[in-house]
């Protein structure tokens, strides 16, 4: 495929994905615009480029995945971003979700526990000239306390229970989107906020999902 044909294919494939997301009920135009301007092919292995705009999750390195575009869109829209927010992301992975968020908020803080993934994600942020993403290697279960409080938190790996350490780092009117284990080996995507006096979380169940688990070990190797 020559350069022009490849550009034409990418344009058509991106447009097709946006039509698919609309057909699945995604109506948030800001989220759709951010997904449309984020080149998903830049975040996956070259051997999978022909599937870049399929509405499926895809494998990346170190046993991780890049999420299904509909799930990315749903989680992003559920954050109710206005452009002024500081967002904490747990699980940088390929960097795709952080890149989408970067078009919709003031600053993204993203934590990854696997150094080679983080290095590649940072390379992509630089290549795409995304200047409002701050990233670091670490155990995401404890969040980023020195940068807290955040307006929003998004967790892109499955937690065994609602992570209260992270919930404590959002503002009174903040929102956390997180997949949480459910009975029977399933996960439920949840939208979590505080009640009026921050004495208890308010939890809204969304849809069933499947994410890699939220782990605490930091991986330094470059293999």
Residues 28-67: tens digit of each pLDDT: 999 999 999 999 999 999 999 999 999 999 999 998 999 9
Whether 185 has a pLDDT exceeding 90, the answer reads: no
According to CATH, the topology of domain 57-209 is: Rossmann fold (3.40.50)
Q: According to the model, what pLDDT value does residue 222 have? A: 54
Above 60 in pLDDT, residue 223?
no
Annotated active-site residue 46? The verdict is no
More confident residue, 31 or 186: 31
Q: 216 versus 63: which is more confidently predicted? A: 63
Tell me the pLDDT of the chain averaged across its residues. 94
Q: Per-residue pLDDT for 1 more than 80?
A: no
Catalytic residue among 30, 57, 61, 67: 67
Select from 127, 129, 126, 76 the least CA-distant residue to 105: 76
For residue 3, pLDDT beyond 70: no
| 8 Å CB contact between 177 and 154 | yes
- Which tokens sit at 170? 């959002």
Average pLDDT over residues 110-135: 98
Q: What is the pLDDT at residue 91?
A: 96
Place of tokens 């293999």: 223
Please report the pLDDT score of residue 172 as a whole number.
97
pLDDT tens per residue across span 128-175: 999 999 999 999 999 999 999 999 999 999 999 999 999 999 999 999
- State the pLDDT confidence band at 216, using cuts at 50, 70 and 90: confident
Per-residue confidence (pLDDT) for residue 4, from 0 to 100: 73
Give residue limits of the domains in the chain. Answer: 57-209
Q: Which residues are registered as beta bridge partners of 150?
A: 170
CB 152 within 8 A of CB 87: yes
pLDDT for 66 equals 96
pLDDT at 73: 98
How far is residue 69 from each of residues 18, 22, 54, measured CA to CA in Å? 9, 12, 8
């Amino acid at each position: 495929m020559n350069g022009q044909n490849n550009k034409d294919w990418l344009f058509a494939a991106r447009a097709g994905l946006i039509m698919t997301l609309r057909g699945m009920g995604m109506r948030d135009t800001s989220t759709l615009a951010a997904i449309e301007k984020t080149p998903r092919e830049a975040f996956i292995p070259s051997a999978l480029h022909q599937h870049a705009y399929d509405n499926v999750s895809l494998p990346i390195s170190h046993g991780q995945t890049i999420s299904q575009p509909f799930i990315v869109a749903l989680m992003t829209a559920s954050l109710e971003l206005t452009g002024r927010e500081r967002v904490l992301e747990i699980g940088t992975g390929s960097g795709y979700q952080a890149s989408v968020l970067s078009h919709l908020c003031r600053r993204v803080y993203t934590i990854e526990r696997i150094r080679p993934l983080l290095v590649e994600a940072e390379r992509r942020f630089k290549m795409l000239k995304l200047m409002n993403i701050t990233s670091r290697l670490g155990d995401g279960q404890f969040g980023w306390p020195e940068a807290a409080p955040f307006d929003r938190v998004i967790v892109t790996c499955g937690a065994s229970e609602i992570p209260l350490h992270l919930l404590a780092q959002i503002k009174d009117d903040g929102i956390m989107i997180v997949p949480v284990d459910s009975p029977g080996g399933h996960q439920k995507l949840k939208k979590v906020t505080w009640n009026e006096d921050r004495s208890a979380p308010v939890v809204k169940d969304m849809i069933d999902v499947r994410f890699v688990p939220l782990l605490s070990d930091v991986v330094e190797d470059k293999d």
